Structure 1
Amino acid sequence: MEQRRQMGLAAALSVVTGESIALGIFLTPAAMARSLGSPLLLAAVWCGMGFMTLCGAICYSELAITYPLTGGEYVYLRQGYGTRLAFLYGWMSAAVMDPGIAAALAVGAAPYVLSLFGLPSRAQIVIPAVILIGLALLNYVGTRLSRRVMTTANLLKIALLICLVIWASISKHATVANLLPLTERRPGSEPLFAAVAGAIISAFFSFGGWWEAAKIAGEVRNPRRNMPLAFTGGVLLVTAVYLLVSASFLMVVPLEKIVSNTAFVAQFGEALFGTTGGKVLSACVLLCVLGGLMAITMAAPRVYYAMAKDGAFFAPFGKLHPRFGTPANAVLLQTTLALLVLCFGAFNRILSFIIFSAVCFLALSVTTLFRMPQPVRRWWFPAAPIVFLLGCTIINLMILMHDPIPALVGLVIVLCGDPIRRVFFAKTTINTNPLPEQIPS
């Protein structure tokens, strides 16, 4: 049974924006603004990261057109470098990255559920598990249903953020005077290099996840048209939303009054909506987090499915549900691992471990453009991949300079996948040429 192409442009666009716009937009602008100390520097970092991300999105568009198959980076690395490197990427995704991000987002959503519905604090223990299981069931029973829910949630999320910007302006709570002087750094700002380095890393985290749309390319209708529009349109939309929301935040709460990330959310909500501000902002944050969780719960299992179809992973995860047509076993695997991560609780540590390796695999995926059987003949080549690769290099150097231990431990965890491959899958013969019927004309 083959996967059906039942996702349109809206669904692919929702994966790009849904993964990127999650908890980070409510937390990172405060820390970035406080350390940079200048509204113009903050805007420059957002624009710079947006430009780098756009270059990466253009590269991924070309890869998705060339290999419009389920699996994303796994497929690109398999085609460009062979099964060994592709397996290491899949191992990182399955063992650490996907369940770690899903668990962290679910835990991040829990306090806002408590605030919004007035639940007792002891409920915070079970809320993340309930969220993960609920989304797993949604993705288990049907791609069409989960696609519609995800698309609706992410459209609502973007509309809600834009409404916050508009309300801040028309309610007269926002004033341009809070942004002035634009270029002058405020007292108490961090040293310039450290501030810019930290802000760039935070901005990368906030944009993170746009590449997940590549994993569903095998289920998108007319991928030659829809995948480039989803990647480039999604990244441009995310950049615009981040610039507008950050400007509104600072026009309502001036730089000098920012105390901490969590306090900043409360300050902004109270300034706009008075005593009910906490619940209003909790609803906004919750919608953003759930949209991100829906996107990763849909996209991540497609990697395990693609690996199993190749014979590079255990066969049951390469089967579609006979009734629902979803990679049901792969969905269950991703959710089970995320629930296990909840038991350990070390979410920040796990995410720190995989960030360095994740950036390495992103860069390696883009380098496969230089290894295509047919040379890439686009107006942006080779400028876009070079800009993106330079950006990835700078980010990883900053991570190593800031705290090398988690990065190196994460790299060791990834390399541990090689002996697993040798024991279980070394004798598997994999056809790296896509089947003709998999690629639409």
Structure 2
Amino acid sequence: MDQHPVKAIVLQKEVGLLSAICLIVGNMIGSGIFIAPKAVLLYSGAVGPCLLIWTACGVLAMMGALCYVELGTMIPKSGGEYSYLLEAFGSPVAYLYSWTTVMVTKPSAFSIITLSLAEYVLAPFYPKCSPPVIVTKCLAAAAIAFIVTINCLSVKLASYVQNSFTAAQLFIITVIVGAGMVLLAQGNTENFSNAFDGKSLSVGGIGLAFYSGLWAYDGWNQVNSITEELKNPVRNLPLAILIGIPLVAVCYVLINIAYFTALTSNELLLSPAVAVTFGDKVFRPMSWIVPLFVVFSTFGSANASCFTAGRLAYVCGREGHMVGILSFISLRHLTPSPALIFNGFLAILYVIPADINTLINYFSFAQWLFYGLTMFSLIVMRFTRKELKRPVKVPIIIAILMVLISCYLVLAPIIDNPEIEYLYSSLFILSGLLLYYPFVHLKVKWARRFMRPITILLQILLEVVPPDKCD
């Protein structure tokens, strides 16, 4: 008789503290810190304001994460913002978040990361020109398929991959920061003299500089997406955030200081990839080490993006806000493989257009709109859900400040430079209500009859079952 215990068909708690820290660090340190310094300097206008904005972005990420610690320990469900908005404001607001995030922001971010990965991988093969677009896109699509496969096979395997590539990310940052400290010790400080001399800052310009910096910091909230798979979340969720985010913030400020020890403002602004330009100038003849480890860093970021995005789609399917098949779990591997495959499929679709960076730029304001709503949900639930246990309770002033800052980050760029694309993005978000009312609120029967044979077919092909159900 088989004496092995049978695992319940649910997501298993297999993510420990180290893996949670690596997930945060891996998600935040992608290609952003190697590219974004150019945009932050452009909008801030000088070295001094640029470094202040990088520091302020780290403080903002930490303040937001502290709010998420309270929310995550109070509502220990995967899905992050989705679960908190559902609890505080009900189904319609949570659905609009899931509609925007599952269908656009998560998969398109995944595709952008893999496109960056493909460009860095191909750069040595096309030293004097840009690689063909079709080759770049095919390699990005292959990377998406490979990463989705890893995540479908095993949570532990995906965690091991994440931990390994996070180590590579920290290694290259340590190398760049170390080189910068050596240059500082040698007296390369001329770029820091008159650090605040530059163009005057506008309200919208500051907002755009923060957008660029916060893009590099994006991922500070991702461990909340996997709360149900976290071992001892009451202990490990706060610890992962309190260790991971300050670590990244210190790395980001130091790496920007390192850039300015070797590059002038003009050199940095003209650079297509700041870290590579820095490596070419400082590490010759070993300059190849920088693009190699940027590839590793970008792969780790793509893996973290896939891991967390799949969990959001899974939770949305479980709550009835997406098709039910997304909430099914692999019978063999105990991973949310339908949700992971769906996110990967959309990411490959977003690789096809000529330029989806524009799409992300105009949806970044929507991201901070939902961040602000999530912070506001913490304030609301202090009054409406007093009965919920709060193992960690942050000062309410932090949540209030984050709501006000989110409002600024949403409105400032639009007021400073209003463009019709912001309206299109807003209309897309609201269009989710056209699907919500018939399919979620009314639960029309013909939709269920239409989806049933498709669900059964996919269930057989993918060998997946609903959570907590088996033969």
* Candidates 374, 385, 388, aligned match of 2:386: 374
Partner in structure 1 of residue 316 of structure 2? 307
Corresponding residue for 1:334? 343
- 1:352 is matched with which residue? 361
Of all paired residues, the percent bearing the same amino acid is 22
8 Å CA contact 2:48, 2:192 repeated in 1: no
Q: Is residue 78 of structure 1 aligned with residue 86 of structure 2? A: yes
Per-residue deviation at 1:233? 2.1
Say if 2:172 is the partner of 1:152.
no
Instruction: Report the alpha carbon displacement of residue 378 of structure 1 after superposing the two structures with TM.
Output: 6.5
Distance 1:224 1:273, change over 3 A: same
SS of structure 2 residue aligned to 1:26? helix
Task: Report what 1:274 is aligned to.
Answer: 284
Larger radius of gyration: 2
Distance 1:222-1:381 versus aligned 2 partners, 3 A rule: same
**2:177 aligned with 1:165:** yes
Distance 1:173 1:116 in 2: 32
Distance 1:378 1:144 in 2: 28
**2:437 maps to what in 1?**
422
Q: Supply the AA of the counterpart residue of 1:271.
A: K
Matched with 1:394 is 408
Provide closer, same or farther for how the CA distance between residues 125 and 190 of structure 1 changes in structure 2, counting only shifts above 3 A.
farther
Matched, 1:213 2:223: yes
Which shifted more, 209-218 or 373-382?
Answer: 373-382
Give the match for residue 435 of structure 1: none
The equivalent position to 2:421 in structure 1, one of 392, 406, 409, is 406
Counterpart Cα distance in 1 of 2:185 and 2:118: 29
Shift of 1:202: 1.2
User: CA–CA distance in 2 between the matches of 1:54 and 1:281?
Assistant: 28
Q: What is the TM-score when the length of structure 2 is the normalising length? A: 0.85
TM-superposed CA distance for 1:428, in Å, is 5.6
- Could you tell me how far apart the structure 2 residues matched to 1:34 and 1:56 are? 26
Change (3 A) 1:371 1:258: closer
Secondary structure of the residue that 2:11 maps to in structure 1?
coil
Q: What is the root-mean-square deviation of aligned Cα atoms in Å?
A: 2.5
- Normalising by structure 1, we get a TM-score of 0.90
2: CA distance between counterparts of 1:35 and 1:96? 26
Offset from partner CA, 1:131-176 (integer Å, 9 cap, x none): 1000000001011100110122112201220122113334779744
Q: After superposition, where does 1:241-320 map in structure 2 within 5 Å? A: 241-262=251-272, 264-277=274-287, 279-320=288-329
1-structure distance, mates of 2:42, 2:379: 40
CA distance in 1, matches of 2:38, 2:200: 14
Asked if the contact 1:157/1:284 (under 8 Å) is kept, the reply is yes
Please give the alpha-carbon distance, in whole angstroms, between the structure 1 residues aligned to 2:83 and 2:396: 21
Give, in whole Å, the separation in 2 of the partners of 1:270 and 1:173: 20
1:275-331, Cα deviation, whole Å (9 max, x unpaired): 552x32211321221121111100001111112212222111111100000000001
Higher mean displacement: 324-333 or 105-114? 105-114
Find out whether 1:142 has 2:154 as its counterpart: yes
Q: Is the 8 A contact 1:100 1:351 kept in 2?
A: yes
Letter paired with 1:308: G
Q: 2:84 matched to 1:49? A: no
Q: Give the equivalent residue in structure 2 for 1:432.
A: none
Q: 1:387 corresponds to which letter in structure 2?
A: L
Q: What is the CA-CA distance between 1:177 and the residue it aligns to? A: 1.7
Structure 2 residue runs of 5 or longer lacking an equivalent are: 1-8, 445-467
Q: Distance in 1 between matches of 2:168 and 2:374?
A: 32
Residue 200 of structure 1 is matched in structure 2 by 210
The corresponding residue for 2:189 is 177
SS in 2 for 1:258: helix
- Map Cα deviations across residues 381-424 of structure 1 (whole Å, 9 max, x no partner): 21111121121111112221334433222121111111112222
1:293 counterpart SS class: helix
Distance 1:396 1:239 in 2: 23
Give the CA deviation at 1:21. 1.4
Assess, with a 3 A threshold, how the Cα gap between structure 1 residues 165 and 81 changes in structure 2: closer, same or farther. Answer: same
Corresponding position of 1:434: none
Q: Retained in 2: the 8 A contact 1:353–1:408?
A: no
Partner of 1:262: helix, strand, or coil?
coil
1:163-207 alpha-carbon deviations (Å, 9 max, x no partner): 221133347797442333154415xx4656565333222112111
Q: For 1:60 and 1:266, locate their aligned partners in 2 and report how far apart those are by CA, in whole Å.
A: 35
Q: What is the SS of the residue equivalent to 2:272?
A: helix
| 8 A contact 1:60–1:231 mirrored in 2 | no
